[in-house]
Amino acid sequence: MTFTSLGFLLFFPAVCLLYYLLPAPARPAWLLAASYWFYACADWRGPLLLLAATAVSYGCGRALGALASPRARRAVLVAAAVGFVGVLALFKYAGFALESLAALLHLAGIGWQPPAFSLLLPLGISFTTFQILGYLTDVYRGALAPERSFVRYALFLSFFPQIVSGPIARGGALLPQLARPVVFLPDRVRDGLVRMLWGYFEKLVVADQAALVVNTVFADYAAHGGVERLLAAVLYSVQIYTDFAGYSHIALGAAQVLGFTLGENFRQPYLAQSVREFWGRWHISLSGWLRDYLYIPLGGSRAGTLRRYANLLVTFLVSGLWHGAAWHYVVWGGLHAAYQIASLLTAPLRRRCNLGRGVLARWARRGVTFGLVTAAWVFFRADSAGQALSYLGGIAGWFDPWVLTDGTLLTLGLDGWGWFVLFCAVGLVLAVDCLRERGVRLRAVLARQPLAYRWLCYYALLAAVLVFGIWGPGYSAAAFVYFQF
């Protein structure tokens, strides 16, 4: 079951209705049962692994709270971290490690065929693992008391709006909310539903339409020139943003309807004026997790210049590997580390060549940042690092701008109307992001408008999702990109 499936559109209202009808003490158990059902719809074996991870991490948390000896508490934390990372490695990285070893031996002249190795990869295992490790670390540090209620802790890990693709919840933010009774507030429910609707617009109208062009070009990039490759790379930047941000809007909106507040995951990332700023706006729950539980414990920027560079490299390589068991993900993470290290090295020169803070200077920095991020996204989207290099090399080598007018664009998965709809939809997303950057919260603005005007806007957005989100040559509903991680 995905957020864009008919099953979810039946499941979610039923869960909400019964949730608000039940007495407050019964609600956590109901949400827990609903969350496990949601997770089981992907594969019935997934909840078994999730329940085992919940029981073990719950016990570790209680032990960390009960033990007085620092050595014993450290041993529990280390054992738990090794165990959960080991399980993640077994399910997600064992095959990758064997294939990499075989390739290394081949370079040394040793022929070895790795055994076939395939395990069920539970949905959201990377997100759940980081959520568990963050919780246990907070308990170990004394920043969070261990949760006493097993039901609430199990719901913390399995809450259906965020179990598959985040945001990665912090125990200190979500667990207290699960312990408080929720009162039905019509304005909050309406605001959550509108946020979900915007998420569906970003996913179905923008991301899935852009994916048609992206998939067409990347599937046979050698047959396409530089303009088509550049356009597909830019549209992939649009696709992955609106796909994942759309998912996050639906997840946060669904949680809001139920009375809970999850952490924001995006803050206009493509309006960032540096790669460092980009990572303060993109996948905020992951970048914050890596900062607090990896980069800073490694020493952060406090241990000298070379150590700071090494810490950045390790952090971003882990980020790349977290996203997928393939070298092109590692290269993607390494590129972002290189961007940040290069930025630190060139900071004195850039300060001397100060471009100012005017509008043109700000947009110039945004353009450079977007270009760097888009180049890195090619490695993320490609099937291998070699393919990504070949793809990027062909952009400059075969650049014919006349394809913009000779009908070539109509062979990339969208007809003329499809391109028009995509262009308008991307423009709307950009306009909304620019308004948010200026502090304008559109849902709050709409809520203050007259009833007729407000509902006209809601129905217009709903109509756009229903008409354009399921329309276009070659259209097929696509899974959210981050489901694979």
Give the C-alpha separation, 434 to 430, whole Å: 6
Give the C-alpha separation, 309 to 341, whole Å: 6
Give the C-alpha separation, 146 to 59, whole Å: 10
Kindly list the distances between the CA atom of residue 445 and the CA atoms of 254, 424, 436, 440, 441, in Å, as whole numbers in the listed order.
Answer: 20, 22, 12, 8, 6
Q: Which two tokens stand for residue 409?
A: 């664009």
336 classed as catalytic: no
Other Cβ atoms closer than 10 A to 88: 20
Q: What is the DSSP letter of 100?
A: H
Residue closest to 254 by CA, chosen among 11, 6, 449, 36: 11
Give the C-alpha separation, 278 to 274, whole Å: 6
Given the residues 224, 323, 328, 336, select the one marked as catalytic.
323
Please provide the DSSP assignment of 114-183 as one string: PPP------TTHHHHHHHHHHHHHHHHHTSSPPP--HHHHHHHHH-TTTTTT-----HHHHHHHHHSPPP
The alpha carbon of residue 327 and the mean position of all alpha carbons in its chain are separated, in whole angstroms, by: 19
Are 415 and 473 in contact by the 8 Å Cβ rule? The answer is yes
Bond prior to 348 in cis (omega within 30° of 0): no
Which residue type, as a one-letter code, is found at position 110? I
Are 60 and 182 in contact by the 8 Å Cβ rule? The answer is no
Residue closest to 260 by CA, chosen among 161, 164, 194, 163: 161
Which residue type, as a one-letter code, is found at position 52? A
Kindly list the distances between the CA atom of residue 271 and the CA atoms of 167, 278, 280, 372, 427, in Å, as whole numbers in the listed order.
Answer: 21, 8, 11, 13, 14
Kindly list the distances between the CA atom of residue 189 and the CA atoms of 193, 194, 399, 452, in Å, as whole numbers in the listed order.
Answer: 6, 9, 50, 19
Question: Which residues are annotated as catalytic?
Answer: 323
